[in-house]
Structure 1
Amino acid sequence: MLWHAYEAATSTAANVYRLSRETVSPFATLLHELRMRHDVRQNELAELIGYDQTYISALEIGSKGPPTAEFVDRLVAGLQLSSSDEMALRNAVAESERKLTLDSDAPEELYRMVAALRRRLPELHPAQARLIREIINLPDVVSREAPEPVRRLRRRRKMEAPM
Structure 2
Amino acid sequence: MLTLAGKHISDPRKMSPFARLLHDLRMRHGIRQGDLAKLLGHHQGYVSALEIGIKGPPPPEFVEKLISVLDLGADEQEELHEAVAASDRKMVIDAEAPTEVFWMLAALRERVPDLHPAQVRMIREIVELPDQLAQRTQEPITRLKRRRNTEAKM
- In the superposition, the TM-score normalised over structure 2's length comes to 0.82
Equivalenced residues, count:
138
Structure 2 residue runs without a partner (length 5+)? 144-154
Kindly tell me: are residues 109 and 148 of structure 1, through their superposed partners in 2, closer, same or farther at Cα, counting changes over 3 Å? farther
1:120-156 Cα shifts (integer Å, max 9, x gaps): 11100222112111110001111222278599xxxxx
User: Secondary structure of the residue that 1:102 maps to in structure 2?
Assistant: coil
Gaps of 5+ in 1: 1-12, 152-163
Task: State the match for 1:34 in structure 2.
Answer: 25
- RMSD between aligned alpha carbons? 2.1
For 1:107-122, what aligned pairs fall within 5 Å after superposition?
A: 107-122=98-113
2:30 aligned with 1:68, yes or no? no
- Picking from 115, 123, 130, the partner of 1:139 is 130
Instruction: Kindly report which structure 2 residues correspond to 1:1-163, keeping only aligned pairs within 5 A, or say none.
Output: 13=1, 19-145=10-136, 146=138, 149=141
Give 2:45's aligned amino acid: T
Moved more, 34-43 or 137-146: 137-146
Aligned equivalents of 1:150 and 1:119: distance in 2? Answer: 48
The whole-number CA distance in structure 1 between the counterparts of 2:37 and 2:142 is: 61
Q: Given the two structures, how large is their TM-score scaled by the length of structure 1?
A: 0.78
The percent identity for this pair of structures is 49
Contact 2:2/2:12 (<8 A) preserved:
no
Q: CA–CA distance in 1 between the matches of 2:64 and 2:17?
A: 18
CA gap of 1:14–1:91, structure 2 versus 1, over 3 A, is closer
Task: Report how far residue 107 of structure 1 moved.
Answer: 1.2
**AA of the residue aligned to 1:128:** Q
Alpha-carbon spacing, 1:150–1:120, altered in 2? closer, same or farther (3 Å): farther
